[in-house]
Chains A and B, each alone.
Chain A
Amino acid sequence: MAFKKIAKNLIILTLLIIAVIATGIFFNRNAVNQNQTSEIKVPLEINLLDPQPLPEINWTTTEGNIFSIPKNHFTLINFWASWCAPCVIEFPELIKFAKENPEFNLLFVSNDLHKNDIGKFVSSLPERSRKGLINSENIFMLWDNKGEITRDIFQTYKLPETYILDDRQQIVAKINGVLSQDAYSYLRGL
């Protein structure tokens, strides 16, 4: 067994070890960090939908007038009823939001059977909310007493529910139940 052979093999092995360590150091340098920027967080209760155009709907206001949604604005369609406790609680919050964010249309679609119930409810609202409702130009009170728009078109069987339309009047998201503060801040960011 020649010493030369041993030395040669030793050199080969040492070179291999050095190569491995060098690669390790190189990769460690390069792998200092890997950053991924996270997208805007969507609150859990907001269900994003594939954008789809709003179907043809014959909206009627509580006064019995035909209504069409003003264009070039984001729109919230809130399905509610005066007998639905959570809807009643979120009502003033929604009014506040719409007043602060005039770039949004806010449509309250009532499922009450009798118009009286709506009137009674509105007059029982706190002073500020009632004024906000009457004076603002971006809040609209609509009435769907047969549930045709709510159930047959929007498939909403549980109140409250709120749909979000983008400025091209496409349905882009839906919120089951009451909007959380996270949801309001998400909407503000739109």
Chain B
Amino acid sequence: MNLIIKKCASPHITFWVLIYMMLLLIFGTIAQKYIGLYGALDKYFYSWILWAGYMPLPGGLSVMSVFFLNLLARFLGYSVWTREKAGIHLAHAGVILLLIGGIISGISRTDTVLPMIKDELRGYTQSYDDAALTVYKNGLRIKQFNLNKVSDNQNLSHAELPFNLQVLNKCINCKITFDKKSGGMNLVDIPSEKDREQNLSGLTFKIDLSDSEETQKYLSFLFFPKPPTIKIDGDEYIFTTERVYSLLPFDIKLESFNIEYYPGTSTAKSYQSDVQIFDDGHSVPASITMNEPLTYKNYRFYQSAYETNNRGEYVSILAVVYNKGRIFPYLAGLITALGLALHILNILKGRLSQSAVKFGCLLILMISASSPALASDIKIGTDFKTLPVLHEGRIKPIDSFARLQLKKLSGSEAPFAEAPSATLARLIFNPYDAVRLNVFEIKNKSVLSAFGIAKRKDNLYSYSQLVNGLEKTRKEFIDILQDQNLKPDAYQSALTDIHNKALYFLQLVRSFSFAMPLEGSDSDAILDYRELQKNTILLRNALEAIRDEKGDDIDAYSAREKETAYMNYQLDTLEQTGKNNLLLRVIPSSDPREKFTTPWQVLTGGKGRPDSGEYIQNWIRLMVAYQAQNQHIWNRAVIDLKTNYDDQKTSPVLKAEYFYNLFNPVLISIILVFAGAITATFLTVQKINSGHKALFFTSVLPSLILGATILFRTFVLGRPPVGTLYESILFVSFILCMAGSLWAFIRQRINILPPVFILSGFLLLLAKSIDGDQDNMQVMEAVLNTNFWLSTHVLIITAGYAWCLLTSVIAHLELYKPNKKNKKTTLHLHAIVSLFLISLGTILGGIWADMSWGRFWGWDPKENGALLIALWLIWALHSRASKHLSQRGFETALAFLSVIIMLSWFGVNLLNVGLHSYGFVSGLAAALFAFIIFEMTLIGGLVWRLKK
């Protein structure tokens, strides 16, 4: 017994199994790109043997079993429960429980799906991918033969079937071929699809009737609209191929399905199914939403997706999970995290008290950035810049809107020496001037020559310059749009881009065209669309009468009649353009799904209400004041509008965002971080280690500004600022800077600051570079839109990334200049803290996934990435403890943590598969590759130098 335990608990096993698990994880993740998630799961993770060509290797299940036994033996045979070691043992016990939970789930769990339309009542769920030959007798389902369990030439029978059914050939994924001779169809077995739900399963079979000699070949496959039907003794039998059904011990009915969109967009904010459960004579009403599943009798129903069927009805798709081991990961995760936390506290005990934390001073930075004086126009004023506008599902100040529009058109937030809002005012209030403004950026020379325009140095052109070219290339543009298979080249992309920009531009300049004087108005009676619209019927009738009398020949019309015809024409044209004007949403809407709408939508879309009239009037006053260059009226109109909007209670947030735009704190942070790196390098070289005031500003300022930035964004967006890749980079930089500075203070080691600052500087630059012409303050997809999980899982996991980077930096420094004092515990502590954050974050992510989709772990690349980091840390820590790695080897392993982080943070995005779609970026591969090469050279160099 003792011997078995001793053999099983060998640290050699731990060392090699962890390495093998990491390799398996990496290959299995990459394989998802090529053979799909299910293929990779079967081949790598849920297999006993992994076939690498003809060579058998241990599969995921084998390795996990060995790992489990190793851990169990170690725990049972070697755990001595002292106060110092309790944390470690508890963490190990947690991992054992996690694996036991995995075993129980593996045995008991079933995953099925329940697609339902409104008012549908169902007592069964269906498999995601397994299909079965299903036999109906007189409309009642008699029997399902699972296609996975039948083989070619097998005879199938059932008590209620008066015949034998012989399978001729079955295929899990079929290709339908047509026999030219007989004109019939055949099924040919082809390899399974990457996504098994896409498989077209089916079979051919024949039926032996005992009293007849004749047999006929039949064919059935999924979604086949005309399944074979035969009649025997007055009974009708239908043979269809359907998904495998599992019976529920109760019935469920979908009462209604509702989707809520972000105002003015087609992005779903949330969706919800109201259901009724009928069980044993009583009924239970319940709602199922994203993140809020329904639990009933060990079944959990998750709102997983929705689709529209061919009748245009919504189909609510509920994932149904039956799992007896569900509680295990929750508590096991908790126990592991608790154990690690206990262990960290144990290490820290008695160490923190030695040094006092010196933070406490708050600086308020005021940079007065005055907006450049305007050449001749009226002063726009801050109040105008902070008026609200609804754009991409979020209410933002005019200033942000203007910046985004100008960046979209011209590539720059402020293409002229004036505030972006001032340029926007020109565009929307003075179209005659706007068409001459150089706001279109064109870099592609072929487009320029196609348009017949000479190249300008700043690459900026006006609409009036482009008009002819746009007209000339319109057909080409439409062809490009319609060709689905086309992979556009540089010229085609640029052409599409400029046409889209032009459409955008026209929407902007026509925002208030309904209120501009029409041609044909007298000076004493200005006629605009609204006036014209009031007389629509009169005008229509008049034109009708003229046409009845004089026909369509305009030349025959009198001057008065021509005017009538022209007015009709203007009315039509304006109405048409107005219908598509959806950009400048500044008028409160009667439609509860969008808070604001465009003025044109009030006029042509029926979205007005009594109080929108006042807003429109005030906007028109603004326009008139702008055109007349009357500062007084402008100011009054802005104040009146402001008062109107103040009822909407959005003002402080809009002001905050305006100042955020004005100060551009991310740019300031970048500058400060690099300045900090230079100062810290200077101080390090000069060996000025502490007590220097420069040190304080150097290290605290960037953290403060970044922290304030993140707080600001939280305030403006009303959610934790970690929803996008951009935001997570900001957050990692902040934690890195803050934890680095804190550590530099406590340890009085300033030499940690230069690498920390350089690293966060580069991360911030990366954030800047991925921040294109989209708003970097975005609304969230339905699944991400829960503050609780964003603030727990994502915050902790991103903090984990940051801490790992810090650990890596410290490891680099140790390799560069070995620190005799304290050298064992410092790195060790950081590694444990990193492991704690990564594990806790991953476990919380698992709980979130379990709540939303019904599975704790799905081998999604991002999840695997986090697991890889955890495994790397576990491997390094255990190998050091078991002396497989020397202290130097441990340092080297931790130095490489930076590479592991970058791989699992950005690298998995390059695979473009999986659920964590918030971070898909292209073009990162080269930078990532360069970083890995750089790190390998650097760490290799450092180790070589030490050896020498």
Contacts and interface: CB of A to CB of B under 8 A. Distances in A.
Given A23-B331, A152-B613, A157-B602, A33 B284 contact: yes
Contacts of A21: 327
A130 interface: no
Across the A-B interface, the 9 shortest Cβ-Cβ residue pairs = A155-B608, A24-B327, A176-B606, A158-B606, A31-B295, A147-B534, A36-B287, A47-B590, A9-B76
Contacts of A24: 324, 326-328
A9 B75 contact: yes
Interface in A1-29: 1, 3, 5-6, 8-10, 12-13, 16-17, 19-21, 23-24, 27-28
A116 to B, nearest CB: 14
A65 to B, nearest CB: 24
Interface stretch (A48-56, A68-76, A89-97, A98-106): A48-56
A28 B298 contact: yes
B256 interface: yes
A13 B609 contact: no
B590 A157 contact: no
A177 B591 CA distance: 13
A98 B76 CA distance: 81
A17 B256 contact: no
A83 interface: yes
B19 interface: no
A155 B602 contact: yes
A20 B336 CA distance: 13
Given A20-B332, A177-B606, A52 B96 contact: no
B591 A47 contact: yes
Contacts of B298: 28
A78 to B, nearest CB: 14
A31 B324 CA distance: 14
A35 B96 contact: no
Interface string A136-162: 000000000011000111111110010
Contacts of A12: 81, 93
B590 A49 contact: yes
A117 to B, nearest CB: 10
Given A31-B295, A83-B537, A171 B610 contact: yes
Given A33-B277, A113-B538, A157 B606 contact: yes
B439 to A, nearest CB: 31
Contacts of B81: 8, 12
B753 to A, nearest CB: 44
B281 to A, nearest CB: 16
Interface residues of B, number: 57
B603 interface: yes
Nearest to A81: B537
Given A1-B2, A155-B608, A157-B608, A35 B327 contact: no
A66 interface: no
Interface in B332-354: 332, 335
A27 B608 CA distance: 50
B interface secondary structure, majority: helix
B190 interface: no
Given A52-B610, A151-B534, 14 more contacts: A1-B77, A6-B76, A6-B77, A10-B76, A13-B93, A20-B328, A21-B327, A24-B326, A24-B327, A24-B328, A28-B327, A81-B537, A153-B610, A154-B613
A10 B285 CA distance: 45
A164 B603 CA distance: 20
A162 to B, nearest CB: 11
Contacts of A161: 606
A29 to B, nearest CB: 10
9 contacts: A3-B2, A13-B75, A32-B297, A34-B295, A155-B602, A155-B612, A158-B606, A171-B609, A171-B610
A41 interface: yes
Contacts of B96: 13
Interface string B600-628: 00111111111111001000000000000
A175 to B, nearest CB: 9
Contacts of A8: 81
Interface of A: 1, 3, 5-6, 8-10, 12-13, 16-17, 19-21, 23-24, 27-28, 31-38, 41, 47-49, 52, 54-55, 81, 83, 113, 146-147, 151-158, 161, 171, 174, 176-177
B5 interface: yes
A10 B79 CA distance: 10
A113 B537 contact: yes
Contact of A34 (B256, B286, B328): B286
A32 B609 contact: no
Contact of A155 (B286, B326, B616): B616
Nearest to B328: A20
A49 B609 contact: yes
Contacts of A28: 295, 298, 327
B295 A55 contact: no
Contacts of B284: 33, 35
B948 to A, nearest CB: 44
B533 interface: yes
B191 interface: no
B294 A33 contact: yes
B23 to A, nearest CB: 30
Nearest to A155: B608
A17 B100 contact: yes
Given A13-B93, A32-B295, A156 B77 contact: no
B413 to A, nearest CB: 34
Given A1-B77, A17-B100, A158 B610 contact: no
Contacts of A32: 295-297
Given A16-B335, A20-B97, A33-B294, A52 B76 contact: no
Contacts of A23: 327, 331
